[in-house]
Amino acid sequence: MSDNAQASQAFQSALSVIETVEPRIAGAIRSELTDQRESLKLIASENYASPAVLLTMGNWLSDKYAEGTVGHRFYAGCQNVDTVESVAAEHARELFGAEYAYVQPHSGIDANLVAFWSILAHRVEKPALAELGAKTVNDLSESDWETLRRSFGDQRLLGMSLDAGGHLTHGFRPNISGKMFHQRSYGTDPTSQLLDYDALAAQAKEFKPLIIVAGYSAYPRRVNFAKMREIADSVGATLMVDMAHFAGLVAGKVFTGDEDPVPHAHVVTTTTHKSLRGPRGGMVLATQEYADSVDRGCPLVLGGPLSNMMAAKAVALAEARTDNFRSYAQQVADNAQALAEGFLKRGASLVTGGTDNHLVLVDVGGFGLTGRQAESALLDSGVVTNRNSVPNDPQGAWYTSGVRLGTPALTSRGFGPEEFDRVAELIVDVLKGTEPTSTSAGAPSKAKYAIANGLAERTHAAASELLDKHPLYPGLEL
């Protein structure tokens, strides 16, 4: 991370300027740093971006409109945005070994929308236009356009189910991905809770999807993307991998060979703010074959790119090229192992029995709690996690039976395996010391709970001891 003492001055000046306009916002920014400093952040999708990344976001690049692509903008005066976008895309291509990179998406959901619609453009629109002898959709007659427009909605998508660890953008019905495609989900093996590639191959053969989505938000294991590509090829599907969660482990060369999605997928999407430790944002990587379709993210589903965020992506990607980042990524995985072992040796049950990536999914049903109760009791104790479904969750998607924990953030603070073992101990103690209570009508509650006297305070104090050893942004004073 860059020099925090130097960054202090920049943040202090920025806050004093903000204070003169809206002191409550300056106050909230200050408080957020305090809160983040003082809690054990185990949310698997969060991290701490470097001061260099944070400072790159707040400037006048934000004021520039630049719809279009590098050298081909719908606005004048975009030379600096062109530099920003080119540098970010160059870093992304080099870091991930991708043929093409598109750094405009504002978020992971945007990146997935760009990917879906560019796959449809490549696989459905292009052949239809060629057959009709038209160059663009604007050249089509009303009736040909209507036929083509309807055919987008006839396409099939096969993605990982939410309760097996997939993301809502992978075909979940309440999300647009579940509405724009005929959608089916693949799950995991009911006994091992691991991906079953043979079952997936059989399902793909029967369903014949246009797109198979691999990748996850809450699956604590590595995926064999070479196998995924074989399955996609066997049914003529496009393989799209959403590596939002584990992009940092790919960038840091922890996931290589069959576990690296980039050489195997046609299209790879990611967020830039989770294990990759960059700014909030998304990115799409693609093979040359899909490049010109992905390049049309605007006007397909995006408007003007957020140039300040693309600049921050470039800075984060530059950081991710370093040996330091590689050691960080390896430490993220090693720490997850230590966390998982810490739970297992204390009798907790983990989905899939462990982890080999950056996250652990604890089945808290064994402690007699719902995910909601566990999440709340842990928060009361200074441990920030999020509840998450487990496969075939008996408590449903709101209350859930799981708590998802990730190592990227605390690893950024310098936590090692011993500290993660202690974190597991603290969490197990809280889960053991928490009991469900009843609703006011006397029925068992899925949300209410009671923590043993003094336990939350003791856990807070123990967490503070760990956190004090690894201060967040040391030297950064506000």
Q: Which residues are tagged catalytic?
A: 65, 67, 242, 271, 274, 280
Instruction: Count residues binding ligand PLP (CB under 6 A).
Output: 14
Element (H, E) at 233: helix 225-234
**Span near ligand PLP by CB under 6 A; candidates 101-109, 137-145, 284-292, 326-334:** 101-109
Q: Are 281 and 309 in contact (CB under 8 A)?
A: yes
| Cα atoms in the 13 Å half-sphere on the side-chain side of 189 | 10
Q: Which residue has the tokens 């503070």?
A: 464
Residue 167 counted as an annotated binding residue: yes
For residue 84, give Cα distances in angstroms to 75, 112, 376.
16, 22, 42
Is 431 flagged in the annotation as binding? Answer: no
> Does 163 sit near ligand PLP (CB under 6 A)?
no
Cα separations in angstroms, 165 against 160, 170, 249, 307, 457: 7, 10, 18, 32, 33
Considering only 39, 45, 352, 370, the residue that binds ligand PLP (CB under 6 A) is 45
Among 47, 78, 56, 45, which residue's Cα sits nearest to residue 310? 56
Which DSSP state fits 476? -
Nearest-approach distance from CB 168 to ligand PLP, in angstroms: 8
Contacts of 153 (CB under 8 A, 6+ apart): 180, 181
Minimum Å gap between C-beta 24 and ligand PLP is 25
Regarding 169 and contact with ligand PLP (CB under 6 A), the answer is yes
Residue number with CB closer to ligand PLP (126 or 179): 179
Residue 276 touches ligand PLP, criterion: CB under 6 A: no
CB of 269 to ligand PLP, least distance (A): 7
b/e 375-402 (16+ beta carbons within 10 angstroms → b): bbbbebbbbbbbbbbbbebebeeebbbb
Nearer to ligand PLP (CB atom), residue 43 or residue 344? 43
Q: Is 177 in the site for ligand PLP (CB under 6 A)?
A: no
Between 282 and 402, CB nearer to ligand PLP: 282
User: Does the annotation place 249 within a ligand binding site?
Assistant: no
**Nearest distance from residue 28's CB to ligand PLP, in Å?**
20
* Burial of residue 37, with CB atoms counted within 10 A of its CB: 0-12 exposed, 13-18 middle, 19 or more buried: middle
344 annotated ligand binder? no
Residue closer to ligand PLP by CB (options 273, 460) is 273
Residue list for the binding site for (6S)-5,6,7,8-tetrahydrofolate: 162, 166-168
Please give the residue ranges that form the binding site for ligand PLP (CB under 6 A). 45, 107-109, 112, 167, 169, 215, 217, 242, 244-245, 271, 282
